[in-house]
Amino acid sequence: MNVNSFKKVVSELLIELGFEKRQNSFYKRNNDLIYIIHLQKSKHSDDFYFNLGYVIKELHQGLNYPKDTDGDIRTRFSLMAKDRETDFLVLSELPPTIEVDYIKGFLNKNISELIDDVDKNGIRWLLDKDPTLLYQTSLQAREYLGIL
């Protein structure tokens, strides 16, 4: 699968899952948060990172299309590759006969764990579940959530 085909497949799948596309980023909102998925291509290869930013609406009123780097909490999608967890997808290692199904499974798993579960349980739940994300949480967000 080439880069353009990959981007097209990802875009179609994320839009199908209810995301709005704007340039290379995808947006989903609930009452409290804006979720931003940004597709980042490696400078050295055809590897891709899926950066995820959580923007707390109350802290950024009027900000409709933030960048993933504006996220109050930031992380990346992950997957198992060669018996280890990694945060990038290597296009050349996608099984050719099931590329689209593989990408769909990868997206569904990460969206379920990092977006749908947060929708149900709240952003504070995410930080309790994975305290290492505190390293990627802004001071303003930690103060807002009462985590100091």
Q: Which domain holds residue 51?
A: 3-145
At 80 the pLDDT is 72
Number of domains in the chain: 1
Residue 90's alpha-carbon distances to 48, 66, 142, in angstroms, are 7, 27, 34
Check residue 8 and report its DSSP letter: H
- Within 10 A of 110 (CB to CB), how many other CB atoms are there? 19
pLDDT by residue for the chain (148 residues), tens only, comes to: 788 888 999 999 999 999 999 988 999 999 999 999 999 988 888 888 899 999 999 999 989 999 999 999 999 998 777 777 777 787 877 777 778 888 898 899 999 999 999 999 999 999 999 999 999 999 999 999 998 7
The token pair at 97 is: 């006969």
Instruction: Give per-residue pLDDT as tens, 90-117.
Output: 787 777 777 888 889 889 999 999 999 9
Report the SS3 class of residue 97: helix
